[in-house]
Amino acid sequence: MISIDRIYKTLLTFTNSDIRGNVKPTDLRLALYDVVNEIVEEYFYEVNRMLNRENRGLINGGFENIPDRIREKILYFLKEDVVLTYAAPYFNLPTDLRYIDSVFYQEDSEVEFCKHNREFKLLLNYTDSLPTITSPIGLRVGNQIKIAPLTIVDEVTISYLRNPLIPNWTYTIVGGSELFNPSASDFQDIDLHPSEENKVVLMTLKRFGINLKENDLVQVATMKETNEFNQDNAS
């Protein structure tokens, strides 16, 4: 996670010195939502590129094929061994699902997914390759999956990449001004790998018409820390 309050204060450092004026909490929420989605889309572009190469038989499956520079950032969203609920004849997928990594029955039998319904039906009727509890097959249907053999109705787990949570800087009004309130029920820090903090700031500032480079950001942050240190020692 990245502190949304720290991001907000950093943004105000730049916008307060600019003719554009202060960034309002509602503007911040919308801008950060767009930025988080844009960054996450970059991750999944790499995931989809890996899947395309895998489907063409160029590489084996697995996250080890994703470039090192973003693998850790993608795995930040990984949820493992989540039990799926059964609602005949389907298993319900998690509501925050973005990408399925693997599905297992009884921890050691991986479900082999079919690409379309025709393939699923053919395998169910082809006696030489009928699915078994040790070699089950699956078909995704919207937000659900069907697994065969149909005797499988429980003990199915999924590992997957989830969608990011929606950032929200929450506040209360005190003396006519917004005061940060992280105790609010809808409060949410920025749901990204901590290494993305500077990128979030730069991309958000750009949405308010302020274009900076990372070196500029580091210099301002250093100056701010120095000023705060001097103020603390002077008091």
Task: Answer yes or no: are the C-beta atoms of 206 and 20 closer than 8 Å.
Answer: no
Q: Which of 152-161, 189-198, 217-226 is least confident?
A: 217-226
- DSSP character for 152? -
The string of pLDDT tens digits covering residues 57-74 is 554 555 555 666 677 888
Residue 1 has a pLDDT of 92
Helix orientation angle between 25-55 and 4-15, rounded to the nearest 10 degrees = 120
Residue 44 has a pLDDT of 80
Q: Which long-range contacts (CB under 8 A, 24 or more apart) does 128-133 make?
A: 133/105, 133/106, 133/109
C-alpha angle 103-105-109 in degrees, rounded to nearest 5? 90
Beta bridge partners of 148: 137
Question: What's the whole-model pTM score?
Answer: 0.77
Q: Which of 37-51, 131-145, 153-167 is least confident?
A: 37-51
| Residues 6 or more apart in contact with residue 123 via CB below 8 angstroms | 114, 129, 130, 131, 137, 148
More confident residue, 49 or 8: 8
Amino acid at 7: I
